[in-house]
Structure 1
Amino acid sequence: MYHHIQDFLADWKLAAENTAKIFANITEETKAEKIAPNIRTLERLAWHITQTITEMGSRAGIFDHDALEDQPIPATFSEIAATHARYNALLADAVYSRWTDASLTDRVQMYTEEWTKGVVLSVLVSHEAHHRSQMTIIMRMLGLMVPGLYGPSAEEWAAYGMPAMA
């Protein structure tokens, strides 16, 4: 749970950068590849991450309405990435302008529960990290380069001329 808006904004900025790194390595050829019947595609996961920003944001009162509700997956992956970047920035701006450190203990109705606003922000960050992690596994299975997010990836270790940690 966040107690300070600035702490959330720092983490949200890092989340946006990490998501952009993942999105940058997904190709038009691989975006819709199904690796298994019950596993989402990379484009479906990317769109879910993006739509959750406005869906949770509107439920929590960060946004006045859910601008991406019922919107279909964009035609190109670059459109998904651009939409994600736009709404990520809009969410940060809205949290900064609408909420205060003191309001982070206020309760809002989220799904079937009551969460504090600080918990809403924590869940937004964690939700995105969770699905980025799923995407890296799918990317590996599709032979895509996986960027390091919290340290070097196997490919980055190799580029350094060092073995990846086992």
Structure 2
Amino acid sequence: MYTSVQNFIDDYRNESAGTQKLLDALTDQRLGQEIAPGFRTLGFLAWHLVTSSGLLLATGLRFDSVPDDGESPASAKTIAETYRRTAASILDAVQAQFTDEKLQESVDMFGQQWKIGYTLGAFIGHEIHHRGQITVLMRQAGLPVAGVYGPSKEEYAAMGVPAPK
């Protein structure tokens, strides 16, 4: 749970940058990749990271959000660019609209009372969860995976260093 606006901003700036690296590596041809038939696609999950930011609207935060109309774009570039704009808008809005005290207020989330600071933490955790799914699907699709918390296998290779096993 966040008790400091600045701590959230620092964390989300870092986490959204990691997500952006992955989304920038997607291709239109691979958005249909599924882990198994009938499961969510790479394109669905990537777009879900954009539209799920709408959960923050329940906190009273006003930012440039994208409604979840059920359809993910067929363009990887559109997904990546929309995520970039949405993440920047969230950062600007939190900085301008929230205070440390505001993070202690409770809002209705899924029929429960969540503190806004908890909601911000759940939002980041949700993104990290789906980002992990995205990296697995990227590997299955043969796409290069960018390192988020350290170099990926491809990044180690580019450095001329064997990846740890």
1:36-55 → structure 2 map (5 Å cutoff): 36-54=36-54
- Gapped regions of structure 1 (runs ≥ 5): none
Give the share of equivalent positions with the same residue, in percent.
38
Q: Give the secondary-structure state (helix, strand or coil) at the position aligned to 2:30.
A: coil
Match of 1:74 in 2: 73
> Structure 2 matches for 1:2-151, cutoff 5 A?
2-54=2-54, 56-63=55-62, 67-70=66-69, 72-151=71-150
Letter in 1 for 2:72: I
TM score, norm. by length of structure 2? 0.92
Deviation at residue 10 of structure 1 after TM alignment: 0.9
TM-score (ref. length: structure 1): 0.92
**Residue correspondences, number:** 165
3-state SS of the aligned residue for 1:108? strand
User: Contact 2:61/2:97 (CA < 8 Å) preserved in 1?
Assistant: yes
Q: Pick closer, same or farther for the CA change 1:100–1:151 going to 2, 3 Å.
A: same
Q: Where has structure 1 moved over 6 Å in runs of 4 or more?
A: none
User: Which whole-Å CA distance do the structure 1 matches of 2:70 and 2:91 have between them?
Assistant: 22
Query: For residues 15-53 of structure 1, what are the alpha-carbon distances to aligned partners after superposition, in whole Å with 9 as ceiling and x for unaligned?
Result: 221111001111111111233124311110011111011
What residue ranges of structure 2 are gaps of 5+ in the alignment? none
Answer yes or no: is the 8 Å Cα contact 1:105–1:118 preserved in 2. yes
- How far the C-alpha of 1:71 sits from its partner, in A, is 5.7
